[in-house]
Amino acid sequence: MFSTAGPEVAEGMSGDPLSGVVPVFPKVSTSRGEKSAGAETFRAMVGAARGPLGPPMFGAGENRLTPMEIDAQLQAAELTYRDLLEGKRPSISMDIASPDAFYKEHFGEEWVAKNKIQRKEVQRQAKEAGENTPMWVEAYTDAADLAFEVLELGKTGSERLRQREAVDRSEVLTLLRNLRHKVLISHYARCGAGERLVGQRACVAVLWIFVSDSEVLAECADCLRLMSTGNAENAANLLALTQALPPEERTHGSTDRGWTFLRASLDAFAAQVGSGMPLLNRPQPQDQEEGDWQKVNPEDAKIPEPTADVEVAVKISQCILAAKDTPALQDQLNYLREAVPENAYQEHRDLKEMLPAVAKSARALEKDAKGSQVAADLLELLKLAGDL
């Protein structure tokens, strides 16, 4: 009937034309769950964020569906499948002149009027982001390809980070450079890279996997900074996302609760100021089958010696500071003032333990002429977490 693959709406829905109660077919209860994790490729599930990032949106550009239309299609599909399973002729006729005629017949004129308001808002958002323009599409494609390189489906169908040895470093560098060029020159590219948080998730994974690789971190930090510059939505979503870190996996029922970007970026920052090694010991990686290594060049499978570069530390600091005005970042740092609750997430615990060492690294960078001002700004931001 209509397309059912596409992006999501960013947070900030309450009080706008896309919020509100959606009328339903008479006497029908919708049973909607997340899609199956049985996809053969990771790209089919990249960025399937839920929780604070709002309801799913399908289609793109002028063909993007409103939340009310999505709900209507899901209910129509359920009714149709129910009729087929019961051996009946489908009760919903597809012989209609237009989608609005279908909606008017089954939901009434009041529903159609409310949906037109939502449609105008959805189309306004799509136009503002430049959906389906060449730069939007190319940046989204680069981000999705990068995610394919650093994320994978676990044995249970959940999302997990690849082991460093299973990541093609040369391909990651190429994709990051391609993406950096686009987000540097185009607002539409920034919107495309941040669509469904694909670019943010991929780059956070890169920060974690390549914590000891200065060259890769430099490109990644530039991409994240440029994606957040002049795009408040990208910055807010970066701080709100949760990327499961090893040995955890991100399931289809997972919600975004924040902490991951701050955890990964501050670890990478301290590593680049110091010895190139992460601050905390990391869990041993999961065992992977031999087939996971086949696409990686032999040279890329060899992990190089850790590298540290203060200029890269400066870039990572700039990446963090680009999101300093987001409420999520400020809230997370303020929470770190308090004692860590027993049920706190692991990233929260790690950050509490890491902060003194991160502050020490920032003070060391402050003495370097290359990073004195950036380090001072970062220390000022970290004061939100208390005296360090």
Where is pLDDT greater, at 179 or 53? 179
pLDDT tens digits for 113-123?
A: 898 888 888 88
- Would you say 115 and 66 are in contact if contact means Cβ atoms under 8 Å apart? yes
What's the token pair of residue 285?
């990686």
Between 372-382 and 310-321, two packed helices, what is the crossing angle to 10 degrees? 50
Residue-level pLDDT at 61: 55
Shared domain for 14 and 32, answered yes or no, is yes
Secondary structure element (H or E) that encloses residue 322, with its range = none
Tokens coding 58 = 């399908």
Say what the pLDDT of residue 319 is: 93
Supply the pLDDT for residue 87: 87
Report residue 88: phi and psi, to 5°: -105, 160
More confident residue, 96 or 276: 276
Q: Are residues 231 and 120 in the same domain?
A: no
Rounded mean pLDDT of the chain?
78
Asked if 182 and 200 sit in the same domain, the reply is yes
Q: What is residue 342's three-state secondary structure? A: coil
The model's pLDDT over 263-301, given as tens digits with 9 standing for 90+, comes to: 999 999 999 998 888 888 777 655 555 555 456 666 666
> Do residues 119 and 174 both lie within one domain?
no
341 and 316, same structural domain? yes
Domain limit, last residue, from 129, 163, 191: 129
Q: What is the pLDDT of residue 174?
A: 94
Last residue of a domain, one of 129, 151, 168: 129
Domain count, the chain: 2
Q: Give residue 164's pLDDT band: very low, low, confident or very high (50, 70, 90).
A: confident
Q: By the 8 A CB rule, do 146 and 175 touch?
A: yes
d(CA 301, CA 54): 38
CA distance 175 to 331: 32
Q: How far apart are CA 386 and CA 246, in angstroms?
A: 29
Q: How confident is the model at residue 321 (pLDDT cuts 50, 70, 90)?
A: very high
Are residue 227 and residue 329 in the same domain, yes or no?
yes
Q: Give the H/E segment covering residue 256.
A: none
pLDDT band at 59 (very low <50, low <70, confident <90, very high): low
- What mean pLDDT is predicted for residues 356-380? 87
Same domain, 95 and 174: no
Q: Max Cα separation, the chain?
A: 77
The reported pLDDT for the residue numbered 3 is: 33
pLDDT, average across residues 187-199:
90
- Is it the case that residue 349 has pLDDT exceeding 50? yes
- Using CA atoms, how far residue 68 sits from 7, 34, 115, in Å, is 15, 18, 6
State residue 125's pLDDT score.
77
For a pLDDT cut of 70, what percent of the chain falls above it? 77
pLDDT band at 91 (very low <50, low <70, confident <90, very high): confident
19-33, 126-140, 171-185, 229-243: which has the highest mean pLDDT? 171-185
Mean pLDDT of the region 128-156: 87
Question: How much is the pLDDT for 318?
Answer: 93
198 and 254 both lie in a single domain = yes
> pTM here?
0.74
Residue 45's pLDDT band (cuts 50, 70, 90): very low
Of the residues 114, 129, 144, the one at which a domain ends? 129
Q: Are residues 146 and 248 in the same domain?
A: yes
Confidence class for position 223, pLDDT limits 50, 70, 90: very high
232-246: average pLDDT: 89
Range of the domain at 20: 1-129
Residues 115, 159: one domain? Answer: no
- Check whether residue 113 and residue 86 sit in a common domain: yes
CB atoms within 10 A of CB 126: 21
d(CA 238, CA 208): 15
pLDDT computed for residue 21 by the predictor: 36
Phi, then psi, of 268 in degrees rounded to 5: -65, -40
Q: State the pLDDT at residue 17.
A: 43
Same domain, 176 and 118: no
